[in-house]
Amino acid sequence: MMQRRQFVQTLGAGSAVAGLGLLGGCAAGGASGAKVVVVGGGYGGATAAKYVRLFSDYGINVTLIEPNPAFVSCPISNLVIQGSKTIADITTPYDNLEKRHGVKIVRDMVASIDAEKRMVKLASGGELPYDRLILSPGIDFMWDTLPGMAKPGAQDKVLHAWKAGAQTVALRKQLEAMPDGGVYALSIPLAPYRCPPGPYERACMVANYFKKAKPKSKVVIFDANDDIQSKKGLFMKAWKDHYDGMIEYRPKHKVVDVDAATNTLKFEFNDDFKAGVANVVPNMRAGAIAVSTGLATANNRWCEVDFLTFESKARKNIHVLGDSIQIAPGMPKSGHMANQHGKTCAAAVVALLAGKEPLALPIYANTCYSFVTDEDVVHVASVHRYDAEKKTMLTVPGSGGVSTAASELEGRYAHAWSRNIWADTLA
């Protein structure tokens, strides 16, 4: 029988035009014709956009749809709240994706997706066809679980600051305006949520600011979970070593409502708590566009995917990345992980558009640094490998772990990590 390579060559020479005709609109425009549309320019989407271009030797057309003018990083944003970094320090423009990698950037929101016609409808009214769609919409908040937050102005008063940007700056201003002796209350939703160690780092960073500027003030953490979700021993040690008597941790405190006018948190089982500054991290789920497209098949919250390709289990030709997916065991919802999803998905999309099998053995790591003071840092790391039998990513036995102790050396690495991942994602 004819060898496959030969067959492809023969067909490629004689029937490419017929093929184009057969598949109609899919192939129109561009040198290779293949069209990938990426929705969402965070760690997952921006990385996927860049790496589809790199991995296809710039042969696949990539359009990135993102409403924000620039990327603002959630990692390091707790240092903006602490005061040693500015919002400009954690902001990176999208220009290089366009200039260096030829990604077409469309500043818009997606109104709807037609999975049958492979068409994205933009909020501004335009339509974009795709051969494969990569959706990286991040998280959205389940405001219906906190009825008081629907009142006018409530969401401007009680902040989440869990999407870096205007709310990060606004929370810093609230802390600056709070008198010495005030209480900052931070509530944490039930897992899974974006960035498991993030709330405990934030408590450290707010206490770090208080220690310097408002030493009579306090931090109270209300955690809906039974215990600290990440780096427990390291955070408890930091709270004792650096902020003894300043940080109080209360587990099993689930916020069920908020009175924003009085900064009052209401709990499922415990007494109300009135704070000077209330910072509520609400329950979250996959970004709204993933939910409305019918992709959030796990509890109507998270999107189940094939971990070889990140293709949705619900819709063909739509891939989902980052915080919006139903995670594999031991896989955190983190920016580092989303960047890794982006590359794995990009390699698979290039293979599939070339008519090839996706790679069989994804292996990638997660590295997550947390600041416990403005200089001392701790980390958690893990390596994740595809398990063909269980069809999911599993942590490699014996790999990974946490810091032995907080250190300034890891503080320097944390800043180097941010410079490098921002460049890898956006430059």
Partner 1 sequence: MIKTMKWLAVGALSAAAFGVQAEVSQVRAWAAACANCHGTMGKAEAGMESLAGKDKDELLQKMMDFKTGKKPATIMHQLSKGYSDEQLQQLAAYFSALKK
Interacting positions 281-310 with partner 1 (CB under 8 A): none
Burial string for 357-390 (b: 16+ CB within 10 Å, else e) reads ebeeebebebbbbbbbbbebbbbbebbbebeeee
Residue in 202, 218, 315, 379 binding partner 1, rule: CB under 8 A? 379
Using DSSP bridges, classify how beta strands 255-259 and 264-267 pair: parallel, antiparallel or unpaired.
antiparallel
Strands (E), 27-72: 35-39, 61-65, 70-72
Residue 11 within binding range of partner 1, rule CB under 8 A:
yes
Residue 26 within binding range of partner 1, rule CB under 8 A:
yes
213, 207 Cβ separation under 8 angstroms = no
Residue in 104, 242, 266, 415 binding partner 1, rule: CB under 8 A? 415
Dihedral over alpha carbons 31, 35, 39, 40 (to 10 degrees): -30
The conformation of residue 179, written as its DSSP 8-state character, comes to P
162, 323 Cβ separation under 8 angstroms = no
Residue in 81, 336, 376, 386 binding partner 1, rule: CB under 8 A? 336
Residue in 37, 347, 372, 393 binding partner 1, rule: CB under 8 A? 347
Residue 388 within binding range of partner 1, rule CB under 8 A:
no
Nearer to partner 1, 31 or 179 (CB): 31
Query: CB 78 → partner 1: shortest distance, Å?
Result: 19
Query: CB 51 → partner 1: shortest distance, Å?
Result: 7
Which residue stretch of 152-160, 163-171, 271-279, 410-418 sits at the interface with partner 1 (rule: CB under 8 A)?
Answer: 410-418
Query: CB 56 → partner 1: shortest distance, Å?
Result: 5
CA distance from start to end of the chain: 47
Nearer to partner 1, 11 or 177 (CB): 11
Q: Determine the Cα–Cα distance for residues 359 and 406; give it in Å rounded to an integer.
A: 38
Binding marks (x or -) toward partner 1, 254..283, rule CB under 8 A?
------------------------------
Residue 392 within binding range of partner 1, rule CB under 8 A:
no
Residue 27 within binding range of partner 1, rule CB under 8 A:
yes
342, 46 Cβ separation under 8 angstroms = yes
Q: Determine the Cα–Cα distance for residues 184 and 178; give it in Å rounded to an integer.
A: 9
Residue 378 backbone class (left: φ over 0; alpha: ψ -120 to 50; beta: rest): beta
Residue 412 within binding range of partner 1, rule CB under 8 A:
yes
Residue 111 within binding range of partner 1, rule CB under 8 A:
no
Query: CB 99 → partner 1: shortest distance, Å?
Result: 15
Residue 362 within binding range of partner 1, rule CB under 8 A:
yes
Residue 400 within binding range of partner 1, rule CB under 8 A:
yes
Q: Determine the Cα–Cα distance for residues 313 and 327; give it in Å rounded to an integer.
A: 13
Residue 131 within binding range of partner 1, rule CB under 8 A:
yes
Nearer to partner 1, 16 or 142 (CB): 16
Residue of 236, 230, 220, 197 whose CA lies nearest to 280 = 220
Nearer to partner 1, 162 or 417 (CB): 417
Residue 327 within binding range of partner 1, rule CB under 8 A:
no
Residue 407 within binding range of partner 1, rule CB under 8 A:
yes
Q: Determine the Cα–Cα distance for residues 358 and 336; give it in Å rounded to an integer.
A: 22
310, 341 Cβ separation under 8 angstroms = yes
Residue 125 within binding range of partner 1, rule CB under 8 A:
no
Residue in 385, 390, 392, 408 binding partner 1, rule: CB under 8 A? 385
Tokens of 57: 């030797």
Nearer to partner 1, 12 or 329 (CB): 12
One-letter amino acid of 240:
K
In degrees, rounded to 5, the angle at the alpha carbon of residue 68 between the alpha carbons of residues 82 and 169 is 20
Residue of 305, 303, 283 whose CA lies nearest to 293 = 303
Query: CB 281 → partner 1: shortest distance, Å?
Result: 25
Query: CB 22 → partner 1: shortest distance, Å?
Result: 7
Residue 371 within binding range of partner 1, rule CB under 8 A:
no
53, 38 Cβ separation under 8 angstroms = no
Nearer to partner 1, 122 or 351 (CB): 351
Contact positions with partner 1 (CB under 8 A) in 170-199 = none
Largest separation between any pair of C-alpha atoms in the chain: 83
204, 234 Cβ separation under 8 angstroms = no
Contact positions with partner 1 (CB under 8 A) in 46-65 = 50-51, 54-57, 59-60
Residue in 141, 302, 364, 371 binding partner 1, rule: CB under 8 A? 364
Q: How many residues bind partner 1 (CB under 8 A)?
A: 73
